[in-house]
Amino acid sequence: MPTYERKRLTAMIFEPADDFDLYKMANSGQCFTAREEAPGTWRFITGEHTVRLTRRGAAVEADCTAAEWETVWRRYFDLDRNYAAVRRAVRPDDAVLQRCAAAGEGIRILRQDPWETTVTFILSQRKNIPAIRCSVEKLKRRFGRPVGEEMWAFPTPEALLRASDEALARCALGYRVPYVRDAADRAVSGALDFAALEREDDAGLLEKLETVRGVGRKVASCISLFAYGRVDCAPVDVWIRRMQETYYGGADPFAAYACHAGIYQQYLFYFAQQEKQAPAGGADVPLRRGKPKMTS
DNA sequence: GACCAGGTGGCCT
DNA sequence: AGGCCACATGGT
């Protein structure tokens, strides 16, 4: 007997007001558990909620109730932000970001669970995205509650704290085992209160998150952006640095943007990933390399 | 079988 | 403050 609720047969349709691309949201490096169940149908999981989404022309079909859509998924998909407007706010003289925002049209910043985001981005250091996915999947299978056919919720801090070092290491955590343990420790003891962190300003949030071992500026920025919706916070990793060197002559690509730097960062990151996959044919409009003509 | 991966902590100056 | 370097493991 499955311990999870039987699959619901309910379905609802909604029409996104602006950007909403399932592939890009699942593959822009922000979440590691979304997967394509069937061509065009994507499964997202947050907490113990799951939803299956399929694009139907201008609309999207979701296998959940309207109530669950409103209480869970509206927030998860950040539906109250206008991403088309964010893309339009890219400076006209910033040709590189113009191009990347066009390529990334459809991306939204997913508002993920802070605990899960903390652990997955601790794992992300010195791993490529397929390896992170694999590691997270193992953690969920071993320590997470089943929430559907071949689906598990992300394990609770208590569950990971109970796990032995050996069991954690078997999930390919490598040298990050003590980091994850420290995060679980702080979550259980209350030293790290994820709900209370909502009230911190950006600087305070980064500072508190960085008290966890294995959480430096980059991982803390990812948690701020992907779990706390701090869209002005732009994580800088090797890929962003690479874009900076290649297209911005080493200058900070986000210096000109006070308020949506995190979203713009995501466009650059997604572009870099696509460019890696198809260096020649992927980008239909080639980017001009070297110093851009940025205005101060 | 190299080389690299959504970095970080702990050393050194 | 800033420059090195080890770190476990898996993907390409």
* Nucleic strand C under 7 Å from the C-beta of A130: yes
Least confident among A220-224, A257-261, A287-291: A287-291
Nucleotide at minimal C1' distance from the A134 CA: C10
Q: Is the pLDDT of residue A1 over 60?
A: no
Strand partners, A46: A49
Q: Does the pLDDT of residue A247 top 60, yes or no? A: yes
Residues paired with A45 in a beta bridge? A50
Which residues touch A147 (CB under 8 Å, ≥6 apart)? A4, A45, A48, A49, A50, A153
Q: How confident is the model at residue A178 (pLDDT cuts 50, 70, 90)?
A: very high
Tens-digit pLDDT profile for residues A8-34: 568 999 999 999 999 999 999 999 999
Distance in angstroms: CA A241, C1' C9: 24
Spatial contact of A42 and A123, defined as CB atoms under 8 Å apart: no
Q: What pLDDT score does A286 carry?
A: 47
Q: How far in angstroms lies nucleotide B6's C1' from the CA of residue A240?
A: 9
Does residue A204 surpass a pLDDT of 90?
yes
Confidence of residue A283 (pLDDT cuts 50, 70, 90): very low
Residue range A175-196: average pLDDT?
Answer: 98
pLDDT at residue A291 is higher than 60: no
* Per-residue confidence band for A3, with pLDDT thresholds at 50, 70 and 90: low
Whether the predicted pLDDT of A86 surpasses 60: yes
Buried (b) or exposed (e) across A62-74, using 16+ Cβ within 10 A? bbbeeebbeebbe
What pLDDT does residue A196 have?
98
A27: Cα within 13 Å, side-chain hemisphere: 16
CB of A174 within 7 Å of some strand B atom: no
pTM, 2 dp: 0.94
Residue numbers 63-102 of A with CB closer than 7 A to any atom of strand B: none
In chain C, which nucleotides are within 7 Å of a protein Cβ? 7-12
Averaged pLDDT score across all residues of chain A: 92
- Report whether pLDDT(A287) > 80: no
User: Confidence band (pLDDT; 50, 70, 90) for A258?
Assistant: confident
Residue nearest to nucleotide B6 (CA to C1'): A237
* Cβ–Cβ < 8 Å for A151, A141: no
**Contact between A240 and A209 (Cβ < 8 Å):** no
pLDDT score for A266: 98
Pairing mode of beta strands A12-14, A35-38: unpaired
Distance A132 CA to B6 C1' (A): 10
For the segment A58-83, what is each residue's pLDDT rounded down to a tens digit?
A: 999 999 999 999 999 999 999 999 99
A159 touches strand C (CB under 7 A): no
What confidence score (pLDDT) does residue A296 get? 28
Closest nucleotide to residue A240 (Cα to C1')?
B6
Q: How confident is the model at residue A55 (pLDDT cuts 50, 70, 90)?
A: very high
Tokens representing residue A15 in the block: 């029409």
pLDDT at residue A2, rounded to an integer: 52
What digits encode the pLDDT tens for the residues A115-156? Answer: 999 999 999 999 999 999 999 999 999 999 999 999 999 999
More confident residue, A166 or A281: A166
pLDDT at A171 exceeding the cut of 70: yes
pLDDT at site A72: 98
pLDDT of residue A97 exceeding 60: yes
